[in-house]
């Protein structure tokens, strides 16, 4: 049957009325002609017509046969079945609402999470041949940092010595202040070596990337803007290329604007060539100064393994040539992995959880369908006995389930659309590749498959009910849904399954919640309450040297300290250490035995005023903090933390460490820059509550002031909200320099909380899923117990009549419920033991097989089972024996 056949079928379906009319007309013509012939043969008109009709046979039957031959029957049947299903659902709105709600939430949730998984994890990066893009990490085996950044000289050597990469660029992040055409705004930018845009393969919306001459030191500054920034701050002016914009108080010439969505790396909004100012020459030459992230594109046909082998060789050569490179290797990682590797596990956990919720909800839907099937058993029996084909009825029932599935799926997709569009607001953290998340074809296909699959799966049960239905049974007097009795045995199994899944969900949520609280309970080593922080950036042109920076803060800090309500105020280079803290290498004085090994270790290096440390609540253990004698011209001093002492001066101990000297590796021959330790402070977890503390050294702000400083203010009042200080802070800054924007204003509590954003999000979401799953399981067990009780009214009535105690009956029902729940619990615990191992990386302070959590979950669910079964139990006990025995 070829194309013609399908065309005719389509026409038969679409233009059905017209086709019917044509059939009519054709038959009528035939009959008329036949009649006329008969008349010519001598019959009377009525006789003629009758004869014609007789010869033709049953007109309707033949029309029907012709229709059959048209072959559109199955489609017409389907359309009719669907219509009937819709009508049937409209007649049972309660049932329909329950099923559709459950399915919508289940399918909607699963689709939402899937769209995130697909966009973030599955989609390749939006660059040509994106699998070739690689992050090139320094494997810092000495300090056990597998993914470290490297130095400029290393970068140059890697680049020139390899042929496994067609291009290699350095990409260093930075922040810029935009003040033009609007309020001061801080945006992320990146310093890149030339070849960056070519390597990525990205096209420009306007203009071009960087040329080699623009990347030379001393060249006029140029910038490429992101599409979003161009629209947001520069009015999408098409003539922007070639004009100057002011960034962080410096003029840059715009040479290009990227396509929308191009924000690599780390949401950068502008890119400028990486050049070395006069002050930065040390960084250019120092091989030990690790600050540069490197990316590359593999050469054609080169695999990651081959490139890794070659880079290993290069790293070994360099380690042999340069002492400072000893123990340094290279680690290659696909760029996609770098961006999303961290969120893979949490996302997959969430996906698994939401699928479980869908399964638990589906069990409820199956129960509802079984119940409905039992109710309509009588109707089915009547139809069967009237001659309806069993296959026909089964087909109808299957259609109904499919319609339910698809409708539920449709609603679910609507929910998912709403969730995904609001994703940026709902999700409090920066998901990598959020721009790639959306309801695209693949996601919709997934939702369709899920809906159809659910619908057809559900269809199995009612279909079995119809298939096994015995009309005689149902038409007897007093028949009690006999056919569902067989399938009704499945219901307790559903409960077992639901509770098993609920256990897994609750265990997961429980473990994560306890981890969360464990993290919160960590002693941070500083006191985050009542502390306000803000960042100030002093632009180069007006503050070109240390003297001007020092002078600025010399006026600002006293003003801050004298603000009402301020107990301590100061400035520090970093409050909390983000991914790439300021590090430096040290060598200790007079420790010939340790010098070889330890001199290679690095410490975090910060400049701070004494009051800043006090404001942060970092306790002094021994010695002193900085005072007015520690300034430019005086001997260099430092305050170090306990870990510093433990790591480098273990025998000296805290008291013996005072007076020891060390030096950073960036000194010169004549003036190594010896620093004396004058104070020891307690460890502060500035890298996040779950991270190990690194050895830290604090230098006096007055000797090494920085252009970017974090102001720290502590309120005197215990429970005062630190944000009250913002007004005063702004005013003070205004007085000192009205043109400076104040950015990153937040309390220390908020800053700490932000480090836990991902953990919190995962925990909250998983807890929500677990709650949903538990509620659904409770509804499930309630429904099943209610059904069982209703089913046995007669038996219960007899027992009551025979004198059974109310209490006995209630406990009997509860025992049955507990058995089902208990079986589910056992299965669930076994499953949870296995699956919780997957959570290991997300846990803190407890093991995946934590007995307390498991016990708590088991007890909770048993309680839920009892609670949910309470009402049916009571109803069982209050059955009136007389009514039951009458057997309505």
Partner 1 sequence: MGDDRADMLQGTLDLLILKMLALGPMHGWGISQRIRELSDDVLQVNQGSLYPALHRLEHRDWVRSEWGTSENNRRAKFYRLTPLGARQLGEERGGWRRFADAVDRVLDAEGRVADKGPREGSKVAGEGDLAPA
Least separation in angstroms between residue 28's CB and partner 1 is 10
Instruction: Give CA–CA dist 810/773, Å, rounded.
Output: 26
Contacts with partner 1 in 86-125 (CB under 8 A)? Answer: none
Based on the shown chain and the rule CB under 8 A, indicate whether residue 386 belongs to the binding site for partner 1: no
Candidates 11, 16, 30, 791; binder of partner 1 (CB under 8 A) is 30
Least separation in angstroms between residue 36's CB and partner 1 is 8
Least separation in angstroms between residue 821's CB and partner 1 is 57
Based on CB atoms, which residue is closest to partner 1, 4 or 425? 4
Based on CB atoms, which residue is closest to partner 1, 8 or 429? 8
Other Cβ atoms within 10 Å of 301 Cβ, number: 7
User: Which backbone phi and psi does 885 adopt, to 5 degrees?
Assistant: -70, -25
Based on CB atoms, which residue is closest to partner 1, 66 or 522? 66
Based on the shown chain and the rule CB under 8 A, indicate whether residue 870 belongs to the binding site for partner 1: no
Based on CB atoms, which residue is closest to partner 1, 37 or 160? 37
Least separation in angstroms between residue 389's CB and partner 1 is 20
Least separation in angstroms between residue 23's CB and partner 1 is 8
Least separation in angstroms between residue 37's CB and partner 1 is 8
Least separation in angstroms between residue 4's CB and partner 1 is 4
Candidates 10, 18, 21, 32; binder of partner 1 (CB under 8 A) is 32
Report strand pairing: 675-681 vs 661-664: antiparallel
Based on CB atoms, which residue is closest to partner 1, 17 or 300? 17
Based on the shown chain and the rule CB under 8 A, indicate whether residue 76 belongs to the binding site for partner 1: no
Based on the shown chain and the rule CB under 8 A, indicate whether residue 18 belongs to the binding site for partner 1: no
Other Cβ atoms within 10 Å of 260 Cβ, number: 13
Based on the shown chain and the rule CB under 8 A, indicate whether residue 24 belongs to the binding site for partner 1: no
User: Which backbone phi and psi does 282 adopt, to 5 degrees?
Assistant: -60, -40
Based on the shown chain and the rule CB under 8 A, indicate whether residue 837 belongs to the binding site for partner 1: no
**Binding string to partner 1 for residues 35 to 74, with x set by CB under 8 A, is what?**
--x-----------------xxxx--xx--xx-xxxx---
| Helix, strand or coil, per DSSP, at residue 261 | coil
Based on CB atoms, which residue is closest to partner 1, 26 or 342? 26
Instruction: Give CA–CA dist 263/225, Å, rounded.
Output: 10
Based on CB atoms, which residue is closest to partner 1, 70 or 123? 70
- Sequence length of the chain is 888
| Helix, strand or coil, per DSSP, at residue 793 | helix
Q: Looking at 127-225, which runs of residues are DSSP E strands?
A: 133-140, 145-148, 165-178, 185-192, 204-207, 222-225
**Cα→Cα distances 249→38, 68, 222, Å:** 106, 82, 14
Strand partners, 298: 165
Candidates 22, 321, 808, 880; binder of partner 1 (CB under 8 A) is 22
Based on CB atoms, which residue is closest to partner 1, 58 or 716? 58
Based on the shown chain and the rule CB under 8 A, indicate whether residue 2 belongs to the binding site for partner 1: yes
| Helix, strand or coil, per DSSP, at residue 285 | helix
Instruction: Give CA–CA dist 46/48, Å, rounded.
Output: 5
Based on CB atoms, which residue is closest to partner 1, 8 or 457? 8
Based on the shown chain and the rule CB under 8 A, indicate whether residue 683 belongs to the binding site for partner 1: no
Based on CB atoms, which residue is closest to partner 1, 66 or 720? 66
The answer to whether the Cα torsion of 712, 715, 719, 720 is positive or negative is negative
Tell me the number of residues near partner 1 by CB under 8 A: 29
DSSP 199-212: HHTPPEEEE----G
Instruction: Give CA–CA dist 4/232, Å, rounded.
Output: 57
Where do runs of H (alpha helix) occur along 376-470? Answer: 377-385, 390-421, 423-426, 441-467
Contacts with partner 1 in 462-491 (CB under 8 A)? Answer: none
Based on CB atoms, which residue is closest to partner 1, 31 or 829? 31
- In degrees, rounded to 5, the angle at the alpha carbon of residue 328 between the alpha carbons of residues 324 and 333 is 145
Tokens 């995904």, residue located: 420
Based on the shown chain and the rule CB under 8 A, indicate whether residue 13 belongs to the binding site for partner 1: no
Single out the segment in contact with partner 1 by CB under 8 A; choices: 3-11, 341-349, 381-389, 395-403.
Answer: 3-11
Number of alpha carbons in the 13 Å side-chain half-sphere of residue 669: 0
Candidates 4, 87, 91, 718; binder of partner 1 (CB under 8 A) is 4
Least separation in angstroms between residue 48's CB and partner 1 is 14
Based on CB atoms, which residue is closest to partner 1, 4 or 87? 4
Note whether 713 and 615 are within 8 A (CB): yes
Based on the shown chain and the rule CB under 8 A, indicate whether residue 75 belongs to the binding site for partner 1: no
259: tokens are: 């396509």
Report strand pairing: 145-148 vs 250-258: unpaired
**Cα→Cα distances 69→81, 192, 411, 583, Å:** 21, 72, 38, 84
Query: Which residues would be at the binding site for partner 1 (CB under 8 A)?
Result: 1-5, 8, 22-23, 25-27, 29-30, 32-34, 37, 55-58, 61-62, 65-66, 68-71
């Amino acid at each position: 049957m070829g194309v013609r056949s399908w065309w005719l079928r389509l026409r038969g379906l679409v233009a059905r009325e017209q086709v019917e009319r044509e059939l009519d007309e054709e038959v009528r013509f035939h009959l008329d002609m036949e009649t006329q012939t008969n008349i010519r043969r001598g019959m009377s008109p009525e006789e003629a017509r009758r004869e014609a009709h007789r010869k033709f046979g049953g007109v309707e039957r033949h029309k029907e046969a012709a229709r059959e031959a048209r072959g559109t029957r199955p489609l017409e049947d389907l359309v009719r079945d669907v219509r009937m299903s819709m009508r049937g659902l409209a007649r049972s709105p309660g049932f329909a609402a329950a099923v559709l709600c459950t399915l919508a939430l289940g399918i909607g949730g699963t689709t939402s999470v899937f769209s995130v998984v697909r966009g973030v994890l599955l989609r390749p990066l939006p660059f040509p041949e994106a699998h070739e893009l690689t992050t090139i990490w320094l494997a810092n085996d000495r300090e056990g940092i597998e993914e470290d950044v490297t130095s400029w000289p290393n970068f140059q050597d890697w680049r020139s010595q390899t042929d496994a990469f067609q291009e290699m660029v350095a990409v260093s992040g930075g922040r810029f202040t935009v003040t033009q055409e609007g309020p001061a705004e801080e945006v992320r930018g990146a310093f890149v070596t030339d070849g960056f845009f070519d390597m990525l393969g990205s096209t420009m919306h306007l203009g071009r990337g960087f040329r080699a001459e623009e990347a030379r030191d001393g060249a006029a500054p140029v910038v490429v803007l992101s599409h979003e920034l161009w629209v947001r701050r520069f009015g999408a002016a098409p003539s922007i290329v070639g004009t100057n914009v002011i960034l962080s108080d410096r003029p840059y010439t715009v040479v290009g604007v990227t396509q929308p969505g191009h924000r690599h790396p780390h949401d950068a909004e502008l890119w400028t060539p990486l050049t070395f100012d006069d002050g930065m020459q040390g960084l250019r030459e120092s091989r030990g100064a690790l600050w540069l992230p490197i990316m590359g594109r593999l050469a054609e046909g080169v695999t990651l393994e081959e490139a890794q082998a070659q880079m290993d060789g290069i790293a070994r050569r360099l380690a042999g040539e340069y002492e400072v490179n000893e123990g340094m290797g290279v680690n290659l990682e696909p760029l996609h992995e770098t961006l999303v590797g961290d969120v893979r596990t949490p996302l997959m956990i969430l996906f698994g959880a939401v699928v479980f919720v869908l399964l638990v909800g589906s069990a409820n839907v199956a129960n509802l369908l079984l119940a409905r099937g039992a109710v309509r058993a009588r109707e089915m029996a009547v139809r069967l006995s009237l001659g309806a084909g069993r296959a026909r009825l089964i087909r109808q029932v299957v259609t109904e389930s499919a319609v339910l599935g698809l409708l539920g799926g449709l609603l679910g997709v609507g929910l998912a659309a709403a969730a995904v569009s609001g994703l940026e607001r709902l999700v409090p953290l920066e998901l990598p590749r959020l721009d790639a998340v959306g309801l695209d074809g693949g996601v919709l296909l997934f939702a369709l498959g899920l809906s159809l699959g659910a619908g057809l799966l559900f269809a199995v049960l009612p279909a079995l009910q119809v298939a096994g239905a015995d009309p005689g049974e149902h038409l007897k007097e007093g028949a009690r849904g006999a056919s569902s009795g067989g399938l009704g045995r499945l219901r307790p199994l559903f409960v077992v399954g639901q509770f098993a899944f609920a256990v897994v969900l609750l265990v997961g949520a429980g473990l994560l919640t306890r981890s969360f609280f464990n993290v919160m309970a960590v002693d941070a080593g500083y006191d985050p309450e009542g502390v306000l922080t803000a960042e100030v950036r002093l632009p180069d042109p007006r503050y070109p040297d240390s003297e001007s920076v020092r002078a600025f803060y010399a006026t600002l800090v006293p003003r801050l300290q004298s603000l009402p309500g301020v107990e301590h105020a100061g400035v520090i280079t970093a409050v909390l250490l983000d991914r790439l803290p300021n590090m430096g290498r040290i060598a200790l004085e007079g420790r010939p035995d340790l010098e070889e090994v330890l001199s290679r270790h690095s410490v975090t290096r910060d400049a701070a005023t004494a009051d800043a440390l006090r404001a942060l609540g970092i306790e002094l253990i021994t010695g002193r903090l900085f005072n007015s004698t520690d300034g430019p011209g005086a001997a260099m001093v430092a305050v170090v933390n306990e870990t510093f002492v433990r790591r480098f001066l273990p025998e000296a101990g805290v008291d013996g460490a005072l007076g020891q000297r060390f030096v950073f590796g960036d000194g010169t021959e004549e003036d190594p820059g010896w620093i004396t330790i004058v104070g020891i402070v307690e460890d502060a977890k500035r890298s996040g509550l779950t991270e190990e503390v690194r050895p830290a050294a604090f230098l006096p702000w007055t000797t090494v002031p920085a252009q970017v400083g974090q102001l720290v203010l502590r309120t005197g009042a215990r429970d005062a909200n630190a944000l009250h200080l913002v007004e005063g802070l702004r005013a003070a800054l205004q007085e000192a320099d009205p043109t400076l924007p104040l950015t990153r204003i937040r309390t220390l509590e908020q800053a700490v909380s932000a480090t836990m954003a991902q953990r919190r999000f995962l925990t909250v979401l998983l807890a929500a899923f677990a709650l949903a799953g538990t509620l659904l399981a409770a509804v499930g067990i309630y429904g099943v117990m209610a059904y069982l009780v209703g089913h046995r009214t007669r038996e219960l009535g007899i027992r009551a009549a025979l004198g059974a105690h109310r209490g006995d009956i209630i406990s009997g029902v509860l025992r049955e419920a507990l058995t089902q729940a208990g079986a589910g619990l056992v299965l669930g615990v076994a499953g949870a033991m296995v699956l919780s191992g997957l959570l290991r990386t997300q846990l803190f302070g407890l093991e995946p097989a934590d007995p307390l959590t498991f016990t708590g979950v088991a007890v909770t669910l048993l309680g839920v089972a009892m609670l949910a079964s309470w009402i049916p139990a009571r109803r069982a006990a209050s059955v009136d024996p007389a009514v039951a025995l009458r057997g309505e």
